[in-house]
Amino acid sequence: MAAADRHEGGFTLIELVISMVVVAIALGGVLMVINYSVRHSADPMLQHQAVAIAESYLEEVLLRPYADPDGSDGETVRNLLDDVDDYEGWSDAGARDQEGTAISGLEAYRISVAVDDATLNTVACKKVTVTVRHAGGIELTLSGYRMDY
């Protein structure tokens, strides 16, 4: 068999370069997806924490009496807030319990409470809105209503 009749197997230099370019582009895409996933992997946890904080603040406010039981307004210490209206304009830098003690690990959240007069089906009530913000771009608002009963 002559040398010219023999078919050599293999790749040309151009084929190798093209295949390396294709693999590099595919690898770059995969790395971008992995980078995005790692960067945003904590977002669901932050969202769940924000929901839990907002729910606990909203529950705390809605469990207070509709009207001031002792007739005095202007309580400024968290554990002395004794009616729904006392929470108007309340804000915390970092989540706190009902006694005002900071909760470890939740310092990056900012919580604010708004209380407005409202009417539902001709019944006077208070609309309580709790907003929770996190430096990571999370912002969550929950609202509830307190009736006078």
Please count the structural domains in the chain.
1
Boundaries of domain holding 78: 40-147
pLDDT in tens, 72-87: 776 888 888 999 999 9
- Whether residue 1 is predicted with pLDDT greater than 90 in this model: the reply is no
The pLDDT, as a whole number, for residue 145 is 96
pLDDT digits (tens, 9 = 90+) for 133-142: 998 889 999 9
As a whole number, mean pLDDT of residues 101-123 equals 95
Is residue 6 included in any domain, yes or no? no
Closest residue by Cα to residue 43 from 142, 141, 138: 138
Nearest to 115 by CA among 87, 73, 76, 147: 87
Considering the domain boundaries, does residue 58 fall inside one? yes
Q: Kindly report the pTM of this predicted structure.
A: 0.73
Burial environment of residue 144 by CB neighbours within 10 A (0 to 12, 13 to 18, 19 or more): middle
Q: Is residue 102 part of a domain?
A: yes
Strands (E), the chain: 91-93, 109-120, 123-134, 139-147
Q: Specify if 33 maps to a domain.
A: no
Give yes or no for residue 3 having a pLDDT over 60: no
| Amino acid 137: pLDDT | 86
Name the residue type at position 2. A
Would you tell me how many other CB atoms lie within 10 Å of the CB of residue 86? 22
10 is a domain residue? no
In the predicted structure, residue 71 carries a pLDDT above the cut 90: no
Residue whose C-alpha is closest to residue 110's, from 92, 137, 129: 92
